[in-house]
Every structure is written in structure tokens, then in C-alpha cells.
Amino acid sequence: MFGEILSKYRVDFYTIRVLFSDRQHVADAVSQSSKGNEAVIIQNGSVKYREWKEFIQTAFLPLKGIRKFHLFYFSGSVICSVDADSEKVPVVVRKEDICAGLPSEILPGGLNRERQTYLFKNIRPHVREQFRNITCPEFNEE
């Protein structure tokens, strides 16, 4: 998909610098790259990341050998098969003690100091002036 986005525009450094200065420019490039592509910009705070692995482990048993199966049917239990013509194997994956509610939220940590420094010193000079504080803001070295 990324190749289709870049092929929509000239792939020289100057063009990319001008077109991809902020999220909206990237979204426009994605949406215009193909009839089937539609970019959706997620606003800060509108998506919550949760600790699903830990949460699911409390309600479900592991499915041993899951990588050998390619088809799964769900109807009370899980019916697994290697392919469409192979034997269907029913497997119980739900524990009796099903959990309720939602898993704990994971709060994003943000960029570490090293990454902020890199963006500020190496990327900021190539970003158009009006987008520099969005893409590579200044930071206080303490």
C-alpha cells in the first residue's frame, strides 16, 4: 500500500517534504492513492489501548498447535481444521470462570528524549515552517 501512495506523487525528497508535513497530508495521500483506500485520522484520546492479552488469558485456555490450523468455526466451542477438507476438531477454549468488564487501559508513553532530539535536530529542518511545532516541536533540555 505504501508504494501505491508514493506512486501517486513524484517520489523526490522535495515533493515528499511538502506533501507529508502533517497527518492530514498523509491522510490525503492515502485516500487519493486508490479507490479502495480511505484514511481515517484518529484524534488524540479517542482510542483506548487495553491489556487484552492478560485479560483474555483469564477467560480462555490456550489452543495448542494453533499455527497448524487455518480454519476456525465458532459455535459454542471452536471447531478447527487444517484445511477445508480435513477433519474438524472441536476444542474447548473457554474457562468456566469468565471475566466481566474491560481490561486495564495502557497509556502511551510518548517519545523518549533520544527520539525527540533526533526529530528536532534532523527532521525539523525539512518540515515546512507552519508544521514544525506539530511534527517536531521544540523541547526543554533539563
Query: What predicted TM-score, i.e. pTM, was given to this entire model?
Result: 0.46
In the chain, how many domains are there?
Answer: 2
Show the domain range for 125: 110-142
Higher pLDDT, 63 or 14: 63
82 in a structural domain: no
The residue with greater pLDDT, 1 or 106, is: 106
User: Which string of DSSP letters, residue by residue, matches the chain?
Assistant: -HHHHHHHS--SHHHHHHHTSSHHHHHHHHHHH-TT----PPPTTSS-EE-HHHHHHHHB---TTGGG--EEEEESEEEEESSTTSPPEEE--B-SS---S-PPEEPP----HHHHHHIIIIIGGGS-GGGHHHHS------
Question: What's residue 114's pLDDT?
Answer: 92
In a domain, 85, yes or no: no
Assigned domain for 87 exists: no
